[in-house]
Homo-oligomer: A and B are copies of this chain.
Amino acid sequence: MHRHFEHALDALKTDIIRMSSLAEQAIAGSIRALLERKPELARDIISNDDQINLMEVRIDDAVVDLLALQQPVASDLRLILAALKINNDLERIGDHAVNIAESAVQCAEHEPIKPFEDITEMARITKEMLRDSIDAFIHSDPEKSRQVLANDDSIDALNKKVVSDLVGVMREHPDRIEHALDLIRVSRNLERVADLATNIAEEVIFIAEAQVVKHHLDKRGAWH
């Protein structure tokens, strides 16, 4: 029975790794479609979202089976429920990739405008956050989770900068308003992906240290 449980838990972790790879690839692909102006690639990302959705359902089913058959308690139970939440977070990341891909299709019809560099940097950091948060979950590594939390501030700052730059573009070039809006949408979607990676990281810290950092006190002493 015990060996059986360990085996099922490993299988669940492997599924979460696969699911996170799909989500990561979707984000990377949607950003590449935007930067390299490839609407066909963007359409692929949109249609491939099925795979992520189906995988979410499959992992949910595996969790139900695991809980029903093995009836885990204490830390095993918390770990499995965390996997359920992470699964849901990853599916949402897939949805954000679809949003970015939709904007990439729109953007390909217009002359490129700045600030692509900041969006590239946001995508790079976000991808790292997602990968680190999943690594932290797989290896129960709260220290790695804390790195993810620290990176979230950079993403928020970059998002603010991108929005402010694009407001400037809109003011000077009213004919580019719709294009700029699409880029703002991309930036906000990346910010949301970073938030979801942060959720995953907080979940890992919560399990590891059995303390609620999810709604942690921020620097101003107020609830974050």
Contacts and interface: CB of A to CB of B under 8 A. Distances in A.
Interface residues of A, number: 35
Interface string A193-223: 0000000000000000000101100000011
Contacts of A177: 167, 170-171, 177
Interface stretch (A4-12, A33-41, A81-89, A109-117): A81-89
Contacts of A157: none
A68 B74 contact: yes
Interface string A170-207: 11001001100100100000000000000000000000
Contacts of A73: 68
A104 B118 CA distance: 27
Interface string A39-52: 00000000101100
A57 B68 CA distance: 23
Top 10 closest pairs, chain A to chain B, by CB: A53-B215, A50-B223, A68-B73, A71-B71, A171-B174, A170-B177, A57-B212, A167-B177, A68-B77, A171-B177
7 contacts: A49-B223, A67-B67, A67-B77, A163-B181, A170-B170, A170-B174, A177-B177
